[in-house]
Structure 1
Amino acid sequence: MKLSIEESGDLHLPKRLGVRAGKFARFAASSVDLLMCASINLLQSRHRLHARSREEMERYVTACETLTAEKFYAVPNGAEIAAVTGGRTGTAITWPSPINTNFPTNNLARADFFPCGRGWGAPTVLMLHALMSASHIGYRRYAARFNELGWNACFVHLPYHYSRVPRGYWNGELAVTADLIRNAEGLRQGVIELRQLMAILRERGCQKFGVLGTSYGGWIGALLAMVERDFRFVALMAPIVNVEHAIWESPAARFMRRELRRANIDPSLVARHFHLSSPMHNQPLCEAGRVLFVSGEFDLIARPKDVEEVHGKWRGSELLRVPQGHFGYRMLRDTIARLKERGL
């Protein structure tokens, strides 16, 4: 059944399902969310903290407390900028990451570039995938659609995903674990690399960008919007915006919480980093009217009330509600439809 979108101010709401159909949709979405959360927790159980984890976390947040987002996500002086060669569909842009991690495979940044017929001067959409994204095939399909609309597209391999997965680990397994320092540095790595990518595309003539981010990719996209302004749109689908809930309440972080408590890492210590890592505690540098938040009505991970709250704080942004849970394919389709209505 196709649900049309009704406009109400800056909210875009799907027509309500019947009571019985709505209950079934919620049950089905919640079941999928909980099943996926169980899988995530199972993988997280492979990652334990150690006796010095509390001490290391204290040192890290203390060092970060005086930093602004602009400084935290600044491209280091002398960092190598990506070099673009060729121009064929699916060209891989690779460059050394400015953030050196303990996993050499993760230290090579990559974006798959899909050019449209307008050349380098066309606007470019940065496609930021979800945590442990199942496949890049759907993103490639939507990259072709953006090409038809006159946009270049970049499918970005976020830290610890796709080409950057170390041997012996699952796609994205290392991006979010009880090791909160690695989590934060992964976010930092992702944002800085995107800024590098935008810089090289500017050198080639691109002046405007779009962001299409899902879940973890939406989190990174929101952080990017805090330090960059040249966006035609920033579409954040089921983004992680309430970091406190993501760590201390989310069903996807049950094992993480157990490890943090075992290591005596408490919420007040973690909160000292929110001025750098939490979209809820910040404002966009870009015009807020460019931002489209998209929430799943049945989402147990990026809760609708959290997405609505950050939408209210980022005054002028738009909110689209979609009847699905955290995991599903309808949201991307409806988001692109809304972007087309807005004229991209």
Structure 2
Amino acid sequence: MLWEYLVRSIDEMSYMYMGKQKNAAEVAAAIGSLEEYVENENAREPLEYFKNPGYVPDMKISSPSARRNYNIMRFQFDSPVYTRHRANNIVHGRYYERHGRPDLPMVILLHGWRMESYLLFDRYCRLLVRDGINCAMPDLPYHMNRTPRDSFAGEHTFKEDAIHTMETMRQSLFDVMSVANWAKKKKGARLVGVMGVSFGGLLSGLMACVEPLVDFAVLVCPASDLGEIFKTSRLGRLFEKENPRAARLITKYKDTLAGMSLPNLKPLLPPERIFIAHGIYDAMVPEEVTENLWHSWDKPVLKRYPHGHLSIILLNPQLESDLKEWLKSVYNLPPASELR
């Protein structure tokens, strides 16, 4: 009981912090109606809308920091998607590589919504690279180094303008695909996987459904059904408070959100190449959302932990142990493309 109170309190504190953040100036609405955009961009077909643009970035690597058996470096490249915010058009990140082994399997680690620091995720990158898996951690659009001036991390991810939100989702995936292209083409990585937490878990799930380059996927507390989460969780109530028209818009654009809902999509990967972690006391992603995903995806590996949305990665050595064992089973598998 005391532990449950503690982990729920951590989630509660994150809500309080998020609620105190100030709104930035409104982003101008995209030109044209949502219906026209969906039609012109073929957005009803995720495999087409999120199709890999084939961009292999000219990655600029800097500030190498040597450890006993791996290096930590910073990278940056131009996003394949141009936006009105200059800071958002350059992808920054960290790259962890074993000495002399660029060809090792690589995980692309995706942080959650409104994350402002690498602190929670740097530890996982170090654990992965020590176990023989290189790791790239890109800043997602409108986060970290890509946060526009006079706004806070993630504020421009979800806006009342549905077209802007869809474009941000597509930019997020295109940036991750660019890292995957670089890993395969420039580094010769034998396998490329994605691992994401919360919003990053949603993006990892989308990658597993639309990107043939992905060989395995880890989804930690994935926000797999945004429409349901916005409707039933405190996260949704906070979003509605910050965006007064959100409730009406979410109802109006429920079909659009459904197109990005993971239970409505089918992964390109077999169930044994997907690992899902859920926090029993998660106050942001309801249990029924994760259960629905699990059943819809033919019951991949699902681990449940007595944790909340944040403590599951902050205070959970069991997840680290389970991931380590599961990744061992994936490490020597052939690329997923050879199975198709």
Q: Could you say which TM-score interval applies, normalised by the shorter chain?
A: 0.7 to 0.9
1:235: how far off? 1.2
Shift of 1:84: 5.5
Displacement after TM superposition at 1:256 (Å): 3.4
1:53 and 1:263 in contact (8 A); partners too: no
8 Å contact 1:209–1:233 — kept in the other structure? yes
Q: Does 1:325 align with 2:311?
A: no
Equivalences for 1:170-319 in 2 at 5 Å? 170-203=152-185, 204-257=187-240, 262=245, 265-274=248-257, 276-319=259-302
**Structure 1 unaligned residues grouped into runs of 5+:** 1-20
TM-score, normalised with respect to structure 1? 0.82
> How far does residue 59 in structure 1 lie from its aligned partner after superposition?
4.0
Cα distance change on mapping 1:53 and 1:105 into 2, 3 Å: closer
CA–CA distance in 2 between the matches of 1:178 and 1:31? 29
The separation in 1 between residues aligned to 2:35 and 2:211, in whole angstroms, is: 29
The 3 A distance-change label for structure 1 pair 299 and 83 is: same
Asked whether 1:69 is paired with 2:51, we answer no
Return the match for 1:336 from 320, 324, 329: 320
Residue of structure 1 in register with 2:57 after alignment: 81
Q: 1:32 to 1:53 in 2, by over 3 A?
A: farther
SS of equivalent to 2:168: helix
> 114-123 or 267-276, which moves further after superposition?
267-276
**Matching of residues 59-208 of structure 1 within 5 Å:** 59-64=36-41, 67-76=44-53, 79=55, 81-83=57-59, 85=61, 88=64, 89-203=71-185, 204-208=187-191
Letter in 2 for 1:116: R
Over the matched positions of the two proteins, sequence identity in percent amounts to 22
1:141 and 1:53, CA in 2 relative to 1: closer, same or farther beyond 3 A?
A: closer
Match for residue 17 of structure 2? 39
Q: Following the alignment from structure 1 to structure 2, what is the Cα–Cα distance between the partners of residues 262 and 87?
A: 44
Matched with 2:337 is none
Q: Which moved more, 1:140-149 or 1:54-63?
A: 54-63
Residue 222 of structure 1: CA displacement?
0.8
| Worse-matched range after superposition: 101-110 or 139-148 | 139-148
* CA distance in structure 1 between the aligned counterparts of 2:17 and 2:91, rounded to whole angstroms: 27
Equivalent position SS for 1:273: helix
Task: Please tell me whether the aligned partners of residues 240 and 247 of structure 2 are also in contact (alpha carbons under 8 angstroms).
Answer: no
How many Å separate the matches in 2 of 1:264 and 1:296?
26
Q: 1:262 to 1:176 in 2, by over 3 A?
A: closer
Query: Number of residues paired by the alignment?
Result: 320
Q: Is the 8 A contact 1:260 1:266 kept in 2?
A: no
In the aligned structure 2, how far is the partner of 1:297 from the partner of 1:307? 10
Higher relative contact order (CA 8 A, sep 6+): 1
Whether the aligned pair in 1 keeps the contact of 2:225 and 2:260 (CA below 8 Å) is no
Q: Deviations over 1:165-212 (max 9, x none)?
A: 111222223223444433322221111111111111111211202222
Q: Tell me how far apart the structure 2 counterparts of residues 264 and 127 of structure 1 sit (CA, whole Å).
A: 31
Superposition RMSD in Å? 2.9
The alpha carbon displacement at 1:41 in A equals: 3.7
331-340 or 283-292, larger mean C-alpha shift = 331-340
* Pairwise CA distance, 1:318: 1.0
**Structure 2 spans left out of the alignment, 5+ residues:** 65-70, 331-340
The alignment partner of 1:241 has SS state of coil
**1:337 partner letter:** S
Q: 1:199 to 1:80 in 2, by over 3 A?
A: closer
Counterpart Cα distance in 2 of 1:137 and 1:82: 27
TM (norm. structure 2) is: 0.82
CA contact (8 A) 1:288 1:316 kept: yes
In structure 2, distance between residues paired with 1:124 and 1:253 = 33
Q: Does the Cα contact within 8 Å between 1:65 and 1:272 map onto a contact in 2?
A: no
Greater displacement, 140-149 / 31-40: 31-40
